[in-house]
Amino acid sequence: MLSSSEPWESVNFGVASETGFAPVHSAVAVMEWSPMEINPETLNKHESFRASQLRSDEDDHKVYFLKQTVGNSCGTVGLLHTVANNKDKLEFESDSVLKKFLEDTVNMSAEERARELESSQEIHKVHDGVAAEGQCQVEEGKMGFHLITFVNVGGQLWELDGRMNFPVNHGATNEDSFVMDASKICRQFVKREKDEVRFSAVALCRA
């Protein structure tokens, strides 16, 4: 239901350094898992960076982005960000809940899409099952993790984080360098959180 009809696979890789980095081919998205309790100062600095990278409204409109307003939904938001920005590479099942949601929200703002996600009972059913077991779920006394998505839209590397107000444009990229380019941004998060080592990344590739 909440899927395309094509076979895809997830490839895990490290982001701590460039040494020993295994090439990842045919990737359409990179998703980084980071500790949920990132230093607020880090996020504020990143938001300031985002403001300095603002492009024209036309550029922003090419990217499908929505805010995360539902608790423990970073995986669902990450899936929507990944698929919505790669629709030209996917074939959907005829009864796909995901396809219908994206069609219904294509011309909405990030805030409107968030409200639509809040009210979508079909996606909630899938999300509830995933959140009960997923890494976004925060157990008592334990720290949860947050998912950030990177995609290549129009030859530009975009960072999509539902906690932020806008998508972040990190500059030019291409199909061959996309994973390496996204990994460099992931390593910047690791460097900013000097005492934190619980970062990981996964690339979504054609099987």
Residues 118-177 have pLDDT tens digits of 999 888 776 665 555 544 444 444 446 788 999 999 999 999 999 888 888 889 999 989
pLDDT of 70 strictly over 80: yes
* 74 flagged as catalytic: yes
* 146 flagged as catalytic: yes
CB 112, CB 123: distance < 8 Å: no
Would you say the pTM of this structure is higher than 0.85? no
For the chain, the average pLDDT equals 77
Instruction: Report how far residue 82's alpha carbon sits from residue 160's, in angstroms, rounded to the nearest whole number.
Output: 9
Instruction: Report how far residue 125's alpha carbon sits from residue 128's, in angstroms, rounded to the nearest whole number.
Output: 5
Instruction: Report how far residue 7's alpha carbon sits from residue 194's, in angstroms, rounded to the nearest whole number.
Output: 38
Catalytic residue among 74, 81, 170, 186: 74
The 10 Å CB-count burial string (b at 16+, else e) for 78-109 is bbbbbbbbbeeebebeeebbbbebbeebeeee
Going by the DSSP 8-state scheme, the letter that residue 29 receives in this structure is: E
Query: What per-residue confidence (pLDDT) applies to 105?
Result: 96
Sorted by where each starts, the structural domains of the chain and their CATH numbers stand as 8-18+25-206 (3.40.532.10)
Catalytic residue among 46, 81, 127, 146: 146
Please name which of 145, 164, 130, 148 lies closest in space to residue 77, comparing C-alpha atoms: 148
